Amino acid sequence: MTDAQNGGYDEFLDALEAGEGYYYACSNGHALVPPRRVCPHCGDRDLEQTELPETGEIRTHTTVTVPTPQFEDDAPYVTAIATFGQVKLTGIVRDIDPVDVEIGQEVTVTVEPSETTDERTIAFYAHS
Amino acid sequence: MSKAFVAGTGMTAFGTFPDRRGRDMFAEAGLAALDDAGLEPEDIDEVFYGNFVGTLAENQGHQGPLASEALGTTAPSRRVESACASSGLAVRDAVRAVRSGESDVVVAGGMERMSNMGTAGATDGLARAADDLFEIRSGVTFPAAYALMTRAYFDEFGGDREDLAHIAVKNHDNALVNDHAHLQEEITVDDVLESPEIAAPLGLYDACPISDGAAALVLLSPSYAKEHGLDAGVAITGSGHGGDTMALQDRQSLATAPATRDAAEAAYDDAGIGPNDVGLVEVHDCFTIAEVLALEGLGLYSYGEAIGAARRGETCRDGALPVNLSGGLKAKGHPVGATGAAQVAAVRNLLNGTHARADAVDDDVTVGVAHNAGGTVASAAVHVLEVEE
């Protein structure tokens, strides 16, 4: 996949992979995952690139047993939404028994290929 | 604002019909609606047709003209796509066409054919109602998206899987007499709790089936109805549409549906009613948790209170507010693009006494509401229907 196809999202994944994750903060305090040109909450176009905190916290999670074909070999897997400071990311929690995943758990984030297609996916690792 | 009379409704049976083309299913539903209204194809001014994955399932874009042809006309038609809210919003556009004075006789409806794609194909198709970059690429399936909301709800407000199981049991029970329903099968709380996990904490019986089917309505302007001596009996008196961010991660709350709240407030204002006036409701229960989010978004329950409503019996047939007397998406079935129109059809038929479950509607009930949601409620359509004197 090229940036031309994903409109800046690949650039964001590159940064996450390099441990240099960032997000956009608008002047009214809304936090957004790239790519964005404007804040969907208030219309502000003054988006400031802000460093993503190193650790996040799981806000909610699910264990997927019936996947789409793109994640056939990954299932069952845990998908979670985690809060990193003000911004939330959605990713797959790796190397963990689904019963051990909890709301409030601390995670770090990186980018890894999925087992099924090699397509890059946001990956969380739990640190208890 | 002026109203739009619901002069006719039509539905195919909802179920698994992999060999039927969508155009044939929509013809069956649409012609039944025309017959019910006592009108002819040549009377139709415009068609609004809801469909979600037809480009994948039937290799067919530009389905609007096919929808008109299926009705026996070449009247102007367009496909409305808003995922699972496609035909709720087709109905809304039809109401606006009638209200604007541009059209007198409008058909609104929808169709979906998914079973021919298989479970993996349909899962893939349905996932496209989520955000490709932020969600699908992180393994979010449609059940997974609602599972994420379920766990967030339990964490924020409490409740458990057994509360949700009572919603599934209730809606299955309601569908037992509905011959158009996909699942006419009594189930127990244990059946739901013991069903295979699809996206924990949701199991297979928390989810609606993958259905094929079509539904259609004939809407009339009051002036046309009067001129032609058509006594429709029930009218859409309020319509609302709410929006939200596509991806869950961009929302402040993962346990509420603000788009439903916005759509409901607009529809209630439009009709000049409040939540206390509502006597029956058909809500978008694609998963058991979705019925909870809908009832709270509609202002029929406070946040955190609807989770136990079915368990307490309040939303059951003999409860204070019967919810999803048709069986809901859970048991009636969810041919995505047909669902919103089918809900409005069910409310109209419950109010005018022609629905199989109309005996559960108290005589003093004159106001019903239909709620249709797209994605994880990034789109919501709410319609108020009232019995006309």
What CATH code is carried by the domain that includes residue B309? 3.40.47.10
Give the confidence band of A5 by pLDDT, cuts at 50, 70, 90: low
With a cut of 90, say whether residue A128 has pLDDT above it: no
CA distance B249 to chain A (A): 5
Please answer yes or no on whether B250 and A90 come within 8 Å at the CB atom.
no
- Taking all residues of chain B, what is their mean pLDDT, rounded to a whole number? 97
Give yes or no: residues A40 and A68 share one domain.
no
Q: Judge contact between B341 and B313, C-beta under 8 A.
A: no
**Whether A126 contacts chain B with CB within 8 A:** no
With a cut of 90, say whether residue B298 has pLDDT above it: yes
With a cut of 60, say whether residue A3 has pLDDT above it: no
Please answer yes or no on whether A69 and B124 come within 8 Å at the CB atom.
yes
Is B144 inside any structural domain? no
Please answer yes or no on whether A63 and B250 come within 8 Å at the CB atom.
no
The DSSP call for residue B321 is: S
Is B203 inside any structural domain? no
Distance CA B317, CA B357 (A): 9
Give the confidence band of B13 by pLDDT, cuts at 50, 70, 90: very high
Q: pLDDT (tens digit, 9 = 90+) per residue, B183-201? A: 999 999 999 999 999 999 9
pLDDT at res. B31:
98
Q: Judge contact between A106 and A54, C-beta under 8 A.
A: no
The count of structural domains within chain A is: 2
Segment B356-361 mean pLDDT? 97
Give yes or no: residues A30 and A69 share one domain.
no
Give yes or no: residues A60 and A47 share one domain.
no
Lowest mean pLDDT among B30-39, B118-127, B164-173, B377-386: B118-127
pLDDT at res. B328:
98
Residues 6+ apart with CB under 8 A from B186: B172, B173, B176
Instruction: Give me the amino acid identity at B113.
Output: R
CB count within 10 Å of CB B338 equals: 36
Phi-psi region of B201 (alpha: psi -120 to 50; beta: other; left: phi over 0): alpha
Q: Tokens for B58?
A: 């039937």
Give the confidence band of A30 by pLDDT, cuts at 50, 70, 90: very high
pLDDT at res. B34:
98
Is B165 inside any structural domain? no
- The residue among B130, B193, B137 whose CA lies nearest residue B165 is B193
Give yes or no: residues A77 and A116 share one domain.
yes
CB count within 10 Å of CB A47 equals: 18
With a cut of 50, say whether residue A2 has pLDDT above it: no
pLDDT at res. B100:
96
- With contacts defined as CB-CB under 8 Å, which chain A residues touch B143? 64, 66
Give yes or no: residues A43 and A61 share one domain.
no
Cis peptide bond prior to B196, omega within 30° of 0: no
Last residue within a domain, chosen from A29, A52, A75: A52
Write out the residue range of the structural domain in which residue B40 sits: 4-117+209-387
With a cut of 70, say whether residue B1 has pLDDT above it: no
Output the CA–CA distances (angstroms, integers) from residue A66 to A15, A95, B149, B302, in the order listed: 31, 19, 17, 33
Give yes or no: residues A35 and A59 share one domain.
no
Q: Would you call A44 exposed, middle or buried from its count of C-beta atoms within 10 A (0-12, 13-18, 19+)?
A: middle
Cis peptide bond prior to A76, omega within 30° of 0: yes
Residues of B serving a catalytic function are 84, 334
β B280-282/B367-374 pair status: parallel
The count of structural domains within chain B is: 1
Q: Judge contact between B111 and B22, C-beta under 8 A.
A: yes
Give yes or no: residues A89 and A42 share one domain.
no
Is B107 inside any structural domain? yes
In chain B, the residue whose alpha carbon lies closest to the alpha carbon of A71 is: B139
As a whole number of Å, the end-to-end CA separation of chain B is 17
Q: pLDDT (tens digit, 9 = 90+) per residue, B242-279? A: 999 999 999 999 999 999 999 999 999 999 999 999 99
pLDDT at res. B231:
80
With a cut of 50, say whether residue B334 has pLDDT above it: yes
Give yes or no: residues A60 and A116 share one domain.
yes
Is B356 inside any structural domain? yes
Give yes or no: residues A120 and A77 share one domain.
yes
Segment B222-234 mean pLDDT? 93
In chain B, the residue whose alpha carbon lies closest to the alpha carbon of A92 is: B138
Residues 58-117, chain A, touching B (beta carbon < 8 A): 59-72, 74, 77, 79-81, 88-92, 98, 103, 114
Give the confidence band of B232 by pLDDT, cuts at 50, 70, 90: confident
pTM listed for this prediction: 0.97
Residues 6+ apart with CB under 8 A from B339: B84, B87, B88, B110, B112, B215, B284, B329, B372
Give the confidence band of A118 by pLDDT, cuts at 50, 70, 90: confident
What CATH code is carried by the domain that includes residue A81? 2.40.50
Longest dimension (CA), chain B: 57
Give yes or no: residues A43 and A101 share one domain.
no
Give the confidence band of B302 by pLDDT, cuts at 50, 70, 90: very high
Q: Would you call B318 exposed, middle or buried from its count of C-beta atoms within 10 A (0-12, 13-18, 19+)?
A: exposed
Distance CA B81, CA B147 (A): 24
pLDDT at res. A127:
84
Q: Which of A66, A89, A98 sits opposite B141 (nearest CB)?
A: A66
The DSSP call for residue A47 is: P
Distance CA B105, CA B218 (A): 7
Distance CA B1, CA A72 (A): 51
Q: Judge contact between B54 and B65, C-beta under 8 A.
A: no
Residue with tokens 């040549």: B42
Residue with tokens 């009996």: B233
Distance CA B199, CA B333 (A): 19
Give yes or no: residues A58 and A48 share one domain.
no
With a cut of 70, say whether residue B343 has pLDDT above it: yes
Write out the residue range of the structural domain in which residue A114 sits: 54-128
- With contacts defined as CB-CB under 8 Å, which chain B residues touch A88? 249-250
Distance CA B369, CA B271 (A): 11
Q: What SS3 state is found at B72?
A: coil
Give yes or no: residues A79 and A45 share one domain.
no
Q: Judge contact between B119 and B110, C-beta under 8 A.
A: no
CB count within 10 Å of CB B375 equals: 24
With a cut of 60, say whether residue B86 has pLDDT above it: yes
- The residue among B159, B125, B141 whose CA lies nearest residue B288 is B159
With a cut of 70, say whether residue A109 has pLDDT above it: yes
